[in-house]
Chain A
Amino acid sequence: MLAVEVEDLVKDYGSFRALKEISFNVDEREIFGLIGPNAAGKTTALRIISTILQVTSGSVKVFGRDVNKEPEQVRKMISYLPEEAGAYKNLTGGRYLEFIAAFFKDGDDAEEMVERGIEIADLGRRIGDKVDTYSKGMMRSLLVGRALMIKPKLAILDEPTSGLDVVNAQEVRRIIKKSVKEGTTILLSSHNMLEVEFLCGRIALINDGEIVEEGTPPELKKKYQASNLEEVFTEAVK
């Protein structure tokens, strides 16, 4: 079964068309990257798949469920990490994970979920501190832990390593790969082409609301006779 099916997706904000009939599929248990410059439409696409923006036309399905018609069913299967996300400042990191886990599991299962979140966030004793004392990197680690602890069928990660240092970013990439082995499908966006090449099985290049290219990184590099994805992207949007 396809994890994500996007077909002729259009999104208008008033008279501004942010997405222009884009289509792509994400297979189950793959890491799919949506790559593009600022204002290309990546976040809008991810927000629609995450059920928080409405579709203007076209269709979006997550594991066969339409995001507009069955948003509540879709939300049970996904975990979304926005590019600019935060947590409740008066809660400790641990309490924040408990708050989120309570929406998915009860009792021991919820505790187990929180333990997994704490492990992924890897904040040591600081997990007991209030969130408003966290650095940007610590906050991102906590949120990655939050997004992946629930073992979602589909994790939608907008710039997952944004704000993280090299070591932490590497750790997050390792966790993302591991979560795929555990059954999660990943749809991510990133500006970091090295990261994309390392993580993604397939990518779609999006520019000005349109998908301009789609394929595996080796395929695209071969097609554009480029040594890296940056060159592919530059050529594809010319």
Chain B
Amino acid sequence: MSDLFNMIKKEVRELLTFQTILPMLVMTLIFAGMGGMIGGIEEEAAKKPVIGIINEDTGSLSGIATAVLNVTAEVVYNSTGGTSVEEALEEVKGKDGIALLLIPEGFSDNILHQNRSGEIHIHWIMKGAGIMDSISTGIVEALIQVINQEIAKEIIGQGGSVDPKIALNPIAKNETIIFKGKEMEDLSPGALSQVLSSQSIIIPMLMMMITLTAGSTVISSMGMEKENKTLETLLTLPIKRSSIIAGKIVGSAIVGLLMAGIYMFGFGYYMQSFQMGLEVNLADFGLTLGAQDYVLVGISVFVTLLAGLSLCMVLGTFAKDYKSAQILIFPIVALSLIPMIMIMFKDFDTLPLLLQAVLFAIPFSHPMMSMRALLFDDYLLVLSGILYVTLFAAATIAVAVWIFKTDRLLTGRIGKKREGAKSFWRRGLRRQS
């Protein structure tokens, strides 16, 4: 065997360990999941939007509009008037529709003879505020543009006396959003999604930062106890195991919160630059958080921090040294990335049941979802989330305390496994004793 080959073999063996492969696998799965979701977006975009139409107009131009819609959308409700909007909405909603378009009486007359834009009332039935949730609404908005162009062509083709401004842009939209039981007038789904996303990004970012800072501090502190050979001494001191764990968690949380606070200070300014362009004030639509809502968000963040750090503590017990501790943070980062990405694409309510279960099971999801849920008075999701995360934290702390009371803390691995692991184990122990 050549010296070079011998060296390469040694380097590969040193570097290619289970700990280095695992994070890559996790990241691959996350990207594959994202790819799957983006694939889903294409599929969603190719689908015809499901809509309902009430055409109360008897003029020629509304016929153009309905003709375009009948070809480009799946019209599940079609009426020429005489029915109430509420009834029509119920029917469209029941058929999984996303909008009800009402072309009022006088639509054509306004454009052709009154030199006024023809209004189309769009009642949006929003199910979620994620990227994927707003694809269909985007398609309907694009269809309105097509109708606008087709009617403009017709007017110009007729060569009448219509004001050129109206002729070029004959349609005006009048939008109402129905979302989670709330009705919001003069607001488009795109604008609402944008405002909700920019408002609720702060919590996911905060969770990510705390996870990265405090979580890695907890895991590293365990790795350093082993690397610096202080762990054995610590374990023989007259101090309760739960106090050691609590001390490490609280100490790391203080450091993590401080670091996250400094980061968020800068991030807040960064986000403000995006919000300046948004002229929508959610309070105008009754979407505000009261003092009790902020308390619930705070509780959700706190219990999640506790759960996350407890999980880090459990992972930290497997750290052999500082280097291996750094790698162990990856599962935590993945656990906080997954809900962040999922929420970005879809609202909890619009996810399939299996993904809802996955999202609910990840503790980091709950503070990320809490703000939006509270804006729409979804207390059940927030309170059940807090309860679940509290139980999760208690169970994880119990596991951490149990590990501290066993041999596993010193050995950093759970034994009684494969033969290969046993022989490795044995060799290590011989060295120790």
Residues of A within 8 A of B (CB): 13-16, 18, 38-44, 47, 50-54, 72, 75-76, 78-82, 84-89, 100, 103-104, 143, 146
Q: What residue of chain A has the Cβ atom nearest to residue B411's Cβ? A: A13
Interface of A is mostly: loop
| Complex Cα gap A44–B426 (Å) | 13
Interfacial chain B residues near A18, Cβ < 8 Å: 429, 433
Decide yes or no whether B229 CB sits under 8 A from chain A: yes
Structural contact, B433 and A80, CB atoms closer than 8 A: no
Q: Which of A13, A15, A87 has the most CB of B within 10 A?
A: A13
Give B337 Cβ to nearest chain A Cβ, in Å: 31
Return 11 A-B CB contacts under 8 Å, by A number: A13-B407, A14-B425, A16-B429, A40-B433, A50-B232, A54-B406, A72-B240, A75-B239, A86-B228, A100-B233, A100-B237
| Complex Cα gap A53–B239 (Å) | 16
- Which among A14, A47, A51 is the interface contact of B416 at CB below 8 angstroms? A14
| Complex Cα gap A143–B234 (Å) | 13
Interfacial chain B residues near A84, Cβ < 8 Å: 229
Interfacial chain A residues near B230, Cβ < 8 Å: 85-88
Structural contact, B236 and A52, CB atoms closer than 8 A: yes
| Complex Cα gap A75–B422 (Å) | 31
Structural contact, B232 and A52, CB atoms closer than 8 A: yes
Q: What residue of chain A has the Cβ atom nearest to residue B228's Cβ? A: A86
| Complex Cα gap A236–B230 (Å) | 35
Give A188 Cβ to nearest chain B Cβ, in Å: 15
Structural contact, B228 and A89, CB atoms closer than 8 A: yes
Structural contact, A39 and B430, CB atoms closer than 8 A: yes
Structural contact, A75 and B238, CB atoms closer than 8 A: yes
Structural contact, A76 and B429, CB atoms closer than 8 A: no
| Complex Cα gap A78–B429 (Å) | 24
Interfacial chain A residues near B432, Cβ < 8 Å: 43-44
Give A92 Cβ to nearest chain B Cβ, in Å: 15
- For the complex of A and B, the 5 pairs showing the least CB-CB separation, nearest first, are A86-B229, A39-B430, A80-B236, A86-B228, A75-B238
Structural contact, A53 and B410, CB atoms closer than 8 A: yes
Q: What residue of chain B has the Cβ atom nearest to residue A84's Cβ? A: B229
Interfacial chain A residues near B426, Cβ < 8 Å: 13-14, 16
Interfacial chain A residues near B13, Cβ < 8 Å: none
Interfacial chain A residues near B235, Cβ < 8 Å: 50-52
Structural contact, B431 and A39, CB atoms closer than 8 A: yes
Give A167 Cβ to nearest chain B Cβ, in Å: 24
Q: Which of A39, A44, A87, A89 has the most CB of B within 10 A?
A: A39
Given contacts A43-B432, A47-B232, contact A15 B240 (CB under 8 A): no
| Complex Cα gap A88–B233 (Å) | 11
Decide yes or no whether B415 CB sits under 8 A from chain A: yes
| Complex Cα gap A228–B426 (Å) | 33
Q: What residue of chain A has the Cβ atom nearest to residue B428's Cβ? A: A13
Q: What residue of chain B has the Cβ atom nearest to residue A15's Cβ? A: B422
| Complex Cα gap A87–B237 (Å) | 14
| Complex Cα gap A96–B218 (Å) | 20
Structural contact, A53 and B407, CB atoms closer than 8 A: yes
Interfacial chain A residues near B422, Cβ < 8 Å: 14-16
| Complex Cα gap A88–B238 (Å) | 18
Interfacial chain B residues near A79, Cβ < 8 Å: 236
**Interface 1/0 per residue, B390-426 and A, CB below 8 Å:** 0000000000000000110011000110000010011
Query: Which residues 239-272 of B have a CB within 8 angstroms of A?
Result: 239-240
Q: What residue of chain A has the Cβ atom nearest to residue B429's Cβ? A: A13
Interfacial chain A residues near B233, Cβ < 8 Å: 80-82, 85, 100, 143, 146
Interfacial chain B residues near A86, Cβ < 8 Å: 228-230
| Complex Cα gap A81–B230 (Å) | 10
Structural contact, A87 and B228, CB atoms closer than 8 A: yes
Interfacial chain B residues near A51, Cβ < 8 Å: 235-236
Structural contact, B433 and A78, CB atoms closer than 8 A: no
Give A11 Cβ to nearest chain B Cβ, in Å: 9
Give B384 Cβ to nearest chain A Cβ, in Å: 37
| Complex Cα gap A70–B432 (Å) | 25
Give B431 Cβ to nearest chain A Cβ, in Å: 7
